[in-house]
Amino acid sequence: MGNERRCVVTGLGLVCALGDSVDKCWNAAANGVTGIREVTTVDTTDCYANMGAEVEARSSELSSENYDRSSLLCIKAAGEALADAGYSADCFDSDRIGVIIGNCVGGAASIDKYYTDEIKNGNADTSDILKMPASAIANNVAKHFGLNGATANIVNACAAGTMSLSYACDLIRSGKADAFAAGGSDSFSSLAFSGFHALHALAEGPCSPFNKSNGITLGEGAGILIIESYEHAVKRGAKIYCEVLGSGVSSDAHHITAPRPDGQGQMSAIKRAIRNSGLEFTDIDYINAHGTGTAKNDEAEFLSLHTLFDGNDHVSVSSTKSMTGHCLGAAGSIEAVFTVKAVCEDTVPPTIGYNEEDLENLKEKAGSIDFVPNTKREKPVNYAVSNSFAFGGNNASIVFAKNPHDIPDNTNKQRVFVTGIGELLGASDEAGKGLRCDITGDDYKEHGIKMAFYRKLDRFSQLQLISGMRALADAKITVDEANENDIGIIIGTADGPMTEIVGFQKNTILNGTANGSAFSFPNTVYNAAGGYFSIFAGIKGYNVTVANGIQAGLQSICYAADVLHSGEESIMVASGTDENTDVTYELYEKLGYTESFRLGEGSVSIVLETEESAEKRGAEKLCEIAGTSMTHKSVEFGTLRGSEDAMKRAILEACESAGIAPDEISAVCGFADGNKTVDDIERAVYSEVFTKDIPVISVRNDIGEARAAAAAQQAAYAAKLLKNDSEGKYNYILAVAAGVGGSYSAVVLKKI
């Protein structure tokens, strides 16, 4: 295959309950050593379970920076991976190496600390607020190591770590980066323990995947892989562990916590990964399974594996979660590190926990598949798969190979059009707490949303569902069996379901870990909104939620356009969604932000479609997405000052992507929100980039600082201006958005 399509692994970093380095963790996993023991960091009084897989280093080794524990774990693993890859300023252009991190519920340890201090001591540290959002993690890693390439925080719960690796490869193959520090991180927390306890999903003893299947054991940790273009790796003389071939992402569109019993969503992700790798199912030597240990997950995965791999007489399967516990957003990347080691060492780590009776039962369930009980299997491992499945019905699969292999080039240069817009934005100012959306029964009746379904949703998910359905209706798209796998979703958010997270955490603090709410817990994960949207709409394609600050709503459009150009889907719904409740307003108020802007809320969804799909449907085209760019300049999370260079690069790269000069831009939909520092930065960069005065439009004058929703609205507003421009005032409109910490997204929209 052409070297320009090759992605390779050049560095590994790992910390989990098995150890604080790749070598320690791998040696333990390969030899069936468990890291599961009694929980010490969460109060398990009155809980029916008290087992966990905690990282032993909880103080000095992980407190060198004033970050949340999820960030510290990630920095620990990233440091090892970057050193392993031989990272230095001499061999990497920092603008071309980015950070993509998977996570489940953000800074859970800091959320616990802040509200424990507030409730029990009456005096919480406001600096902990900036440690809460998942948006901070990739920014903190980038800041620590001085990495200035594109950043993203993928927050699709237990599939997030694998999705981050997939997206890193896509961006490298498209020429938008040389390398990424990609993976996932999550810390042990009372929130997660209480939540899974409320669902009665925890095992009383150590978890027993593919065996007793009586529950999960929670773990924590971080896994980071340095994924690099082959050409760049060779140019700098890097060692290469293995190749990364294809990946696949899909949705179950079934249930917010349970997998489809028929395994169709899981199989879709695996099929996509195998197809995109140019392989056959009979080529695979090893599968690191999701293997959580719950009955429903294990049953669905057993079915998926048998359906796809029963004709393969040499495939081995194991679940390393039997030793590491389930590390949530870090699980996929931790298991990816183990999968890479399996390929390099020709060794399959076992699933532990089988007694003699269990082994007899396994023979009946396993069939021709080798499930590697208790003891490692030494065998040639040329091609290996790592699977991750998550709440919300999100699935991801990725393939690693010992040697290069021709992979199909499904990328295309098709034009991408906006064919639908759905908006739900704040209009009323309630009690001086910013703008909020007026949601009535008509809003959900409009799309046949039944109260029984709607009642399950938190506000964040309600906003997303309404705008998403409005966008599909505006584009005249009916989801059915013919197109359900050809439509995908990217949701951008700054704060996610923070109201639900805080409410659940407060309840845990007040009433104890044993008394969490089984109704509320599923809504504490950032990707619940995307899960509910896919379930209701019946969308079974690509589904990712990205949390990267205020600009995430525009980043979702960049991401969605990338997915369309990769050939994975024909239609994408790109959204920006954030809520303004009493909880979110209070947090922003304590940070002093509400003094300079009005907080808003809402959800804006935009349908993006390839030219072929739009023509085939006879869709009305509002405008073209002519160019996109994502950039970053590492500054402290919570600030923008010092990141001006990244904003300039975003504008210039988006214009270059569109094939135009900056002065061909007719107008800018900017991100000014009333904050003087932010406004000054924006004006200064425009004066540097453009040689003439260009009109700058601020949507936030009307909708407030609705964060990701406002960023998406910048593009939606521009699309409508272009569509309705009968006077020929506009040919190209630039939408540019900023996220605290130095992340920027820019989109050039073109009149048709």
Pairing of strands 383-390, 286-288: parallel
- The Cβ of residue 441 has, within 10 Å, a number of other Cβ atoms equal to 10
Please calculate the CA angle 686-688-690 and round it to the nearest 5 degrees: 60
Angle 143-144-145 (CA atoms, 0-180°, nearest 5)? 95
φ/ψ of 692, rounded to 5, equals -135, 165
Please give the structure tokens belonging to residue 12: 């590994």
Is 200 noted as a catalytic residue in this protein? no
Give the HSE-up count for residue 518: Cα atoms under 13 Å, Cβ half-sphere.
Answer: 8
Phi, psi (rounded to 5 degrees) for 295:
-60, -50
Q: How far apart are CA 641 and CA 684, in angstroms?
A: 12
Identified catalytic residue from 7, 25, 74, 158: 158
- Which CA distances in Å does 466 have to 78, 315, 333, 532, 654? 39, 44, 33, 11, 30
- Catalytic residue selected from 144, 197, 326, 405: 326
Phi, psi of 386, rounded to the nearest 5 degrees? -120, 125
The Cα–Cα gap between 251 and 529 comes to: 13
Cβ atoms of 78 and 224 closer than 8 Å: yes
Residue 545: closest CA among 474, 497, 581: 497
Distance CA 5, CA 410 (A): 11
Q: 520-534 burial string, b = 16+ CB within 10 Å, else e?
A: bbbbbbbbbbbbbbb
Torsion angles phi and psi, residue 247, rounded to 5: -145, 165
Is 326 a residue of the active site? Answer: yes
Using N-to-C axis directions, what is the helix angle for 708-723 and 552-566, rounded to 10°?
Answer: 60
Please report how many Cα atoms fall inside a 13 Å half-sphere around the Cα of residue 658, on the Cβ side: 30
- Answer yes or no: 25 catalytic: no
Catalytic positions, written as ranges:
158, 290, 326
